[in-house]
Every structure is written in C-alpha cells, then in structure tokens.
C-alpha cells in the first residue's frame, strides 16, 4: 500500500513485459485463482481466441459452478471458429456453461468480467480480449471494483446484452461460413498490417536507441552521472575484497556482506538463503570464472539461488572491462530499441554473448569517453527509465 492507494497488480497473468495491469485490486490479487474460487462467472468480451481460452480453461473447469455465461462478439470476425466449436462442446459436457454471440448490428467491444462467490461480487472492466495478447503480451489496463452499486450496474448491463444475444448453437454455422470466406482476405490484410507496423516499430526503435546513446553521453557528463559511476567503482573494490578475488576463499559472513551491497543489483532473501547453503559450489564456480571464463555463466547459473541478475553481477566483479549486469531496467530498454530479449530471459553462455553484443553501442561510447564499462552502463540504464 502506498500513499493510501492500492498498488497496481498483474492483470490476468504476469507477462514478461510487465505492462498489463489491473488497478484497484487488492495487493497480490490473482485473477486465475479468483476464477477457480468463484461460484459464478460472467464474461462480456469483444472477441476470443483459442490461445486466450486455453490460458483460463483449467481455472474455469477446476470446480463445480452455479453458472458461467459468456457473450462473445462477431464484429470484424475476430472470434476464432475453433474457440466457438470448443465452447459448443463444453456446453454439452457442462450444463452450467452457456455461450452466446452478441448482435452484429452494432460493434460489440467490451471486456468485462463479473465474479461471484457467496455474497461477494467483483467486476473487472478493461481493455484485454480473450486472447494470448489480451491476457499476456499486449499493453492492457483494467479496473477492479467490489463496490456493490458498481457491480450491480455492470451486471445489469451484462443482462441487457445477454437478453438480446443469440445462443451459440443458433448462429455458429452462419458465423463460421462467413469467417471462412474472409479467411484469405483477413490473412493478407493482417500480413500487410504487420509489415507496416514492423517497419514503423523498427524506425522508432532506431530513433529511441540513438536518443538513448545521446542521453547516456549527457548523463555520464553530469555530476550525478559521474558520482553514480564512482560509487559503483568503489563498490567493486569492496565486493572483490569480501569475495577474496581472485582466489575466492571467502566465508559465509563475507558472502552475506557482499550480498548487502546494493550496487549492480540486490538479492531477494529467499535466494540469499539458497546461495548460502551452496557456498562451496559457488566458490568453485567463481574460481572457474578466472580459469575458464567461457563456461562461467552456465556454471554460475547452476548454483542454487543464483539468478540472471546475481550471476551477471558476479561476472562484473570478476571482469568489469568485458561484462555487464543484466537487470530489468536494461532489458526494458533493449525492448524499446527493438532488440528481442526472449533469448536472454534465461541466462546462458550463448544468451549472455547476445546481451553483450546488444550493449556494444553504449559500451563503445563509454570507452570513447574513457569510462569504466560495467559501472557506466549500470548507472545509465538504472537512470534511463527516469530520463524517458
């Protein structure tokens, strides 16, 4: 809780982009858990894809229900026939499930969820459709409410739509026939749209990257930038001392002192305990970063409790002239520059090389300015989100 307001929580599931959110929900709100636990569920969704349905299907069918009512849209033929056939079969297998298609005369465009458990009712009104994009990878925002008057008004709206919508069995045949007729046209249009979008996105990414390099130069030349770099350089000396670099004959208490240093990233308490339990394996892996640097990443990642950020922090301690820290600010920035970050979501020797190549324009700029690579990069990318 911050300033009396509830924190923003993940929408349906936590996406790797972290940009889909639900405002107003209790902290740690879990949408899928809420679906599993509710007795009745009403969904008014503009369109649905099998990918979205499969994400929530287990939660919906995990326990007995009083009722699940779904109204999907037909506008622009975005709802997939495969989903409608799956829902049609599910209606037969589960009598409490009823599905309708909204009238086609007006564009049906809502994204509404109403969940009831006993006397408690909540509603979520947002932007995400029942699709993989709407649930996971798009930028979406929804508002949660448990206010009785708000939920009642939303439910009254749903009932009004339900009453004028057609049962799935009455209109699925005509919808699917029309969908199939438009399949090739739709595919051609989507392919052309994606090509144009990709071209625009690439242009914007190049512009964002060029602007970021300029911002890096400006930040590094400022007093606060110089101080941030100096602070990291001083912390590297301290961290190497605690770890007894390069022999790494450090004790458990030395390791805890190292972990307490916030520069280049901190470690969650849960992971901290796991690393302490595997300290001998950790010492061995660190010694190999000196003797066999090529295998260092994979060996460090094999140590219990060592994740992407901590592994790269240790690599920087071992060689700050060649390495750099991977953390959320850096990954978010790379995505803005149009660089695919999926490969570096799980750190390995090969993915770390990809990551370092992606940072080369910034590392080169730091080198031209005579700045220490790892410290300059970490200081800038931590500040970059604020600068934008």
Residue 158 neighbours by CB under 8 Å, 6+ apart: 42, 44, 69, 71, 112, 114
CA distance 133 to 47: 12
- DSSP, residue by residue, 249-265: ---HHHHHHHHT--TT-
Say which residue the tokens 């009403």 belong to.
42
Are the CB atoms for 49 and 131 separated by under 8 Å? Answer: yes
Q: Tell which residue, 282, 242, 283, has the closest CA to residue 260.
A: 242
List beta partners, residue 144.
124
What pLDDT, on the 0 to 100 scale, is given for residue 6?
39
CA distance 32 to 57: 10
What pLDDT, on the 0 to 100 scale, is given for residue 19?
65
Report in angstroms the alpha-carbon separations of 82 from 42, 79, 93, 182: 21, 9, 17, 15
CA distance 105 to 74: 10
What region, left, alpha or beta, does residue 16 occupy, with left being phi > 0 and alpha being psi -120 to 50 degrees?
A: alpha
List beta partners, residue 2.
5
Q: Tell which residue, 101, 100, 125, 105, has the closest CA to residue 114.
A: 125
pTM over 0.85: no
Tell me, what DSSP letter sits at residue 63?
S
CA distance 322 to 356: 9
Each residue's pLDDT, cut to its tens digit, for the chain (388 residues) gives 233 333 444 444 333 344 678 889 888 888 899 999 999 999 999 999 999 999 999 999 987 789 999 999 999 999 999 999 999 999 999 999 999 999 999 999 999 999 999 889 999 999 999 998 898 778 899 999 999 999 999 999 999 999 999 999 999 999 999 999 998 888 888 889 989 988 998 898 889 889 899 999 999 999 999 999 999 999 999 999 999 999 999 999 999 999 999 999 877 776 788 999 999 999 999 999 888 777 889 999 999 999 999 999 999 999 999 999 998 888 888 888 877 777 787 889 999 999 999 999 999 999 999 999 999 999 999 988 776 5
Are the CB atoms for 233 and 374 separated by under 8 Å? Answer: no
Specify the DSSP element, H or E, that contains 72: strand 67-72
Which structure tokens are listed for 162? 């339900």
Alpha helices in the chain (DSSP H): 31-37, 50-60, 81-93, 132, 148-164, 168-221, 223-243, 252-259, 269-277, 279-291, 296-301, 308-318, 328-336, 349-358, 360-368, 373-387
In 342-373, which positions are buried (b, 16+ CB within 10 angstroms) versus exposed (e)? eebeebeeebbeebbebbeebbebbeeeebbb
Q: Tell which residue, 308, 264, 258, has the closest CA to residue 283.
A: 258
Residue 18 neighbours by CB under 8 Å, 6+ apart: 328
Residue 270 neighbours by CB under 8 Å, 6+ apart: none
Are the CB atoms for 304 and 265 separated by under 8 Å? Answer: no
Structural domains in the chain, CATH included, are 9-164 (3.30.870.10), 200-387 (no CATH)
CA distance 302 to 203: 39
SS3 of residue 115 by DSSP? strand
CA dihedral (18, 19, 24, 30) in degrees, to 10, reads: -40
What pLDDT, on the 0 to 100 scale, is given for residue 388?
59
Q: Tell which residue, 42, 77, 244, 43, has the closest CA to residue 175.
A: 77
């Amino acid at each position: 809780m911050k300033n009396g307001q509830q924190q923003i929580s993940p929408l349906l599931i936590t996406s790797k982009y972290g940009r889909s959110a639900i405002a107003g929900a209790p902290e740690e709100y879990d949408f899928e858990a809420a679906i599993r636990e509710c007795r009745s569920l009403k969904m008014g969704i503009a369109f649905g894809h099998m990918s979205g349905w499969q994400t929530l299907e287990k939660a919906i069918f995990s326990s007995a229900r009083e009722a699940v009512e779904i109204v999907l849209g037909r506008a622009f033929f975005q709802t997939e026939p495969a989903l409608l056939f799956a829902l049609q079969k599910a209606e037969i297998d589960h009598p409490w499930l009823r599905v309708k298609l909204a009238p086609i005369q007006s564009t049906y465009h809502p994204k509404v969820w109403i969940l009831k458990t006993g006397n408690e009712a909540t509603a979520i009104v947002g932007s995400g459709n029942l699709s993989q994009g709407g649930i996971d990878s798009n930028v979406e925002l929804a508002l949660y409410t448990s206010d009785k008057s708000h939920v009642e008004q939303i439910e009254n709206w749903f009932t009004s739509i339900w009453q004028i919508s057609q049962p799935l069995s009455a209109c699925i045949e005509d919808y699917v026939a029309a969908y199939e007729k438009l399949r090739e046209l739709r595919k051609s249009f989507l392919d052309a749209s994606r090509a144009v979008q990709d071209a625009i996105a690439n242009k914007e990414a190049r512009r964002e990257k060029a602007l970021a390099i300029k911002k890096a130069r400006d930040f590094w030349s400022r007093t606060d930038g110089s101080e941030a770099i100096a602070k990291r350089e001083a912390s590297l000396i301290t961290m190497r001392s605690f770890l007894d670099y390069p022999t790494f004959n450090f004790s458990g208490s030395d390791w805890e002192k190292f972990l307490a240093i916030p520069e280049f990233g901190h470690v969650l308490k849960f992971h901290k305990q796991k690393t302490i339990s595997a300290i001998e394996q950790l010492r061995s892996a660190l010694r190999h970063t000196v003797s066999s640097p090529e295998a260092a990443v994979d060996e460090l990642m094999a140590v219990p409790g060592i994740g992407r950020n901590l592994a790269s922090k240790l690599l920087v301690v071992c060689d700050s002239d060649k390495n750099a820290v991977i953390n959320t600010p850096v990954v978010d920035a790379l995505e803005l520059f149009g660089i695919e970050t999926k490969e570096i979501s799980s750190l390995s020797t090969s993915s770390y090389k990809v990551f370092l190549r992606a940072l080369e324009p910034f590392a080169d700029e730091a080198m031209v300015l005579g700045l220490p690579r790892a410290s300059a990069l970490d200081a800038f990318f931590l500040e970059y989100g604020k600068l934008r």
